[in-house]
A and B are shown apart, each in its own frame.
Chain A
Amino acid sequence: MNLPAKTDTDTPPAAALRRRWASSLLSLLSSGGPFAGLVLTVLLFAWLTRAEGTFLTEFNLRTIAVQSVIVGLSALGMTLVVISGGIDLSVGSQVALVTVVTALMGRDGGYAMPACVFAGLAIGTACGFLNGLTIDRLGLLPFIVTLGALQIFRGGAKLAAKNTAVYFPTELKPSWLPELMSIESGPGLQKFALSLPVPLNKILMVVPPSVWLLLMVSLIVWILLRKTIWGRYVVAIGSNEATARLCGLRVGMIKISVYTLCGLLTGMAGVMQFAEMNGTGDPVVASGLELEVIAAVVIGGGSLAGGEGAILGTLVGALVMRVLKSGCVHAGIPNASQDILIGLIIVTAVAVDKLRTRLASGH
């Protein structure tokens, strides 16, 4: 995001050159870093799987993209939370709770799909709101509050589902539900595409529908963050909360709104999870998702110290995580080594983050 510093004309050439190097390295790390990481990972696995030839296929790339939607949606919310200087450890449990509530609305309430989806989104939003309210009113650390919430929401999901999977009644399932998270375009989408004029229908088929959803939501969140006063204030609070108070910002309200929005976005992730499981509410699904989501944010340039984070970076971070997993499977890397590799990537990303802040502060 930082513009590279212009060099003064009166500095000696060597120093100017060194400064130019430092600033270009800086801008590479802050904007190009996640992209370079993504390209490197893709190339690495393409090379590792060159014998099989199953990794760099259109089908597999579409699969990876679809798989990154759930992490991506939740990571958008997490990006806002991290920029505001907080963290939300409860997103995995929120996803599980949302799938259970959505399924229960259909099975026990007999409501139509849209009403169930609305209920799922509402419960996600409520979870986020509760997190924000507790953090603001009790003045507790976000880490502690959401660590508690991680347990509470998971327990709530199990309680509501009576510890077993909840199946959405087949007769209430609309035909578009499985298409929501499908990798190839389903009949419904194809029919819709035919009704569109020529260039649009081709464009529509390029990526799966869930990816379109992710991209659209990303655009909205990006506008909120970069083009509105609210977004400026979120960054201000993460950058220096004392300054925000001095400037008369409603710090508490803004924090609550950030967690609430994170809850809504995680609710969307939950609905997508529900669709992916073909209409099943599973109280034990998405455990550990929060770590993958936080990793995506951090790989994308978010700083857990607050004040920094990027929407595009986060999307790339979510893709990196998915490419890693898919690549490991295609390259036949055993599960244990996969975990180690992913752990190493996360630590490396944070190390790069630290190096970047050190360079940025000029030490």
Chain B
Amino acid sequence: MTSEMQSVELQLTLTDITKHYGATAALSGFDLEIKGGECLAIVGENGAGKSTLLKIISGQIRPDQGRLQFCGEPFRPNGPREALRQGVAIVHQELCLASHLSVEANIMLGREPNRLGWRSARKCRALARNFLAQLDRSDLPLNTLVGELSPGMKQIVEIARALASDARVLLLDEPTSSLSQADTERLFQAIERLKKRGLAIVFISHALEEVDRVADRIAVLRDGQLVRVAKKTEWDRNSLISAMVGRSVEDLYPDRNRNLESKLVDPSELARIVFESDSVSGRMLPLDVSFKVSGGRIFGIAGLIGSGRTELARVIMGLDPQKSGQLKLSGKLISDRARTRDRMKSGLGLLSEDRAGEGLALNRTVEENMLYPTYARSSRFGLIFQSKSRQRAEGWVKRLGIKCQSSQQTVRRLSGGNQQKVALARLFDQQGDVLILDEPTRGVDVGAKVEIYRMIRQKADEGRAVIVISSYLPELLGLCDDLAVMHNGKLSETKPVEEWSQEQIMRIATMAGSASVEEGQP
């Protein structure tokens, strides 16, 4: 079967692919060609549609519209298993390996040569060795348990497994995100070898330098559409970045200077609150982070997912251990061993990025989710005044315009935007001086976004210090007063937003031109 297929030119064609999630289009009218013997890199901001595209090609989801053709035949896999059988394999960011089995067992899993169910150990080992040799990694010991390998080695095992299943199209989803420099280099060499053997490689990455090195063609996605696909030689760094971010900041964001004009807050009141972080480090991330936010200002932290932004917020809140450095609020030192509860009492508050997993107890009511940290305010001797609690919750429902039947409804039934407002109500209800908002508008529609921006600005106008973490650059540029960029756990210098350009930010976030940051990595 394979020899016959390979005589036809290896080609995967996507025509007019469209995929909607509810009202939002994740991909629309998308055309792309993937050819054997080359590496196609796909780049774009978070939410541009890269992962939707990968899911469609690997059969995890079906497009609403459009056709896929593989080697001239219609390609409509019914799930990743079937896609794999037809020769399309995906290597995920989170690796899917059985960590308690050996390297050899993982490579051959489900494809062991056998006689009457007895696997032939000799043949298995020979085949596994052969696949590793194709990747130039014969040095990997076959008997080692996969759980003991480094992330880079695991990646190689996963690719070898794809080869064992006779894959001819290999989809690599951010393969280098957890790799060291040396492992990345070896991965690129493996990709070169596979290209020479006629495989088609699709490479998704945030790091533009890597894309430059490994890709033959580069496709840029933005807002679910293909901006441009062209040979690598036709792109330069600047044209790539502006193709990725090319968006104007619409009139979504509240006016920065309103509080100064209307003299809403007394300037001395603004100076009262100062939150300082002095070379704070966590267990792995963040590393040596220093910044300063004063009352009335919104401080933005840009950076890619996994750069240590969320970890910084968790260390500040005492949810993860603070290994070194000092946090000061209005001149008062916060003990590095203070627990979450004590940090909240001294005035810190966090909106979690993971709404379903951490931010909210989805099976509990709106009221409970809002008042967990502050039930004591409407209680005596530990007994809750039910009507008073309910009143407080209903008050927030009204103030933030939360659409729900009552404060006694379970949060699971609300839409994403309304769930986020419940989480915000909890944060506001704590009346802390420092608000940390991690991805405040993730999974929220545009209407709710505008409202949330307005509320965040209002909190700053009240004189609080606000920290906003986001993957969505236009949001940070539109909302914040000051900004710093995170990369590999380190935070860049802080500058007023007007002094940053999107290109500059992307350059630091993707590490281009800041090689000095690389040192100090473990």
Contact = CB atoms under 8 A, between A and B. Distances in A.
Contact of B383 (A227, A236, A242, A248): A227
Nearest to B351: A246
A6 B368 CA distance: 20
A244 to B, nearest CB: 7
B344 interface: yes
Most A C-beta atoms less than 10 A away, residue of B358, B405, B409: B358
A248 B371 CA distance: 12
B198 interface: no
B150 to A, nearest CB: 26
Given A229-B375, A236-B364, A239-B363, 13 more contacts: A2-B410, A228-B379, A229-B376, A239-B362, A240-B357, A240-B361, A243-B358, A243-B372, A244-B372, A246-B352, A248-B341, A248-B343, A248-B345
Interface in B349-383: 350, 352, 354, 357-364, 368-369, 372-373, 375-376, 379, 382-383
Contacts of B405: 5-6
B413 interface: yes
B389 to A, nearest CB: 9
B372 A247 contact: yes
Nearest to B349: A248
Contacts of A228: 379, 382-384
Interface in A28-75: none
Contacts of B386: 227
A13 to B, nearest CB: 20
Given A5-B405, A232-B368, A246 B358 contact: yes
B340 A239 contact: no
B412 interface: yes
Given A5-B405, A6-B405, A229-B375, A248 B344 contact: yes
A250 B342 CA distance: 11
A239 B375 CA distance: 17
A187 to B, nearest CB: 40
Given A245-B319, A248-B344, A236 B382 contact: no
B459 interface: no
B383 A361 contact: no
A250 B376 CA distance: 14
A236 B363 contact: no
Contacts of B361: 236, 239-240, 243-244, 307
Nearest to B389: A232
13 contacts: A3-B408, A5-B405, A227-B384, A229-B382, A235-B364, A236-B368, A242-B357, A244-B361, A245-B340, A246-B340, A248-B339, A248-B373, A307-B363
A274 interface: no
Interface in B208-228: none
A111 interface: no
A361 B412 contact: yes
A3 to B, nearest CB: 6
A273 to B, nearest CB: 31
B297 interface: no
Pairs A-B, 7 closest by C-beta atoms:
A248-B341, A242-B358, A240-B361, A239-B361, A247-B372, A248-B344, A229-B375
Interface string B313-339: 000010100000000000000000001
B372 A240 contact: no
Nearest to B412: A361
B487 interface: no
A233 interface: yes
B358 A240 contact: yes
Interface string B106-145: 0000000000000000000000000000000000000000
B360 to A, nearest CB: 6
Contacts of B359: 243, 246
A212 interface: no
Report the contact-size class of chain A (Cβ under 8 Å from the partner). 20 to 34
Interface string A221-241: 000000111101101100110
Nearest to B355: A243
A148 to B, nearest CB: 24
B426 interface: yes
A236 B372 CA distance: 8
Nearest to B343: A248
A229 B357 contact: no
A25 interface: no
Contacts of B373: 247-249
Contacts of B368: 232, 235-236
Contacts of B358: 240, 242-243, 246
A287 B340 CA distance: 42
A227 to B, nearest CB: 6
B383 A243 contact: no
Contacts of A243: 358-361, 369, 372
A201 B368 CA distance: 42
Interface in A1-34: 2-3, 5-6
Interface string A305-317: 0011000000000
A307 B364 CA distance: 8
Contacts of A229: 375-376, 379, 382, 384
Contacts of A235: 364, 368
Contacts of A242: 354, 357-358
Contacts of A239: 361-364
Nearest to B410: A2
A240 B411 CA distance: 13
A324 B361 CA distance: 37
A56 B476 CA distance: 73
A308 to B, nearest CB: 8
Nearest to B376: A229
A167 B479 CA distance: 77
Nearest to B378: A229
A233 B372 contact: yes
Interface string A326-362: 0000000000000000000000000000000000111
Contacts of A244: 361, 372
B516 to A, nearest CB: 35
Contacts of B410: 2, 360
B364 A246 contact: no
A304 B383 CA distance: 27
Contacts of A2: 410
Nearest to A250: B341
A219 to B, nearest CB: 14
Nearest to B354: A242
Interface string A290-329: 0000000000000000011000000000000000000000
Nearest to B364: A239
A356 to B, nearest CB: 12
A249 B341 contact: yes
Interface string A137-168: 00000000000000000000000000000000
B364 A5 contact: no
Contacts of B352: 246
A240 B317 CA distance: 18
Contact of A248 (B340, B362, B382): B340
Interface in B400-434: 405, 408-410, 412-413, 426
Contacts of A3: 408-409
B149 to A, nearest CB: 26
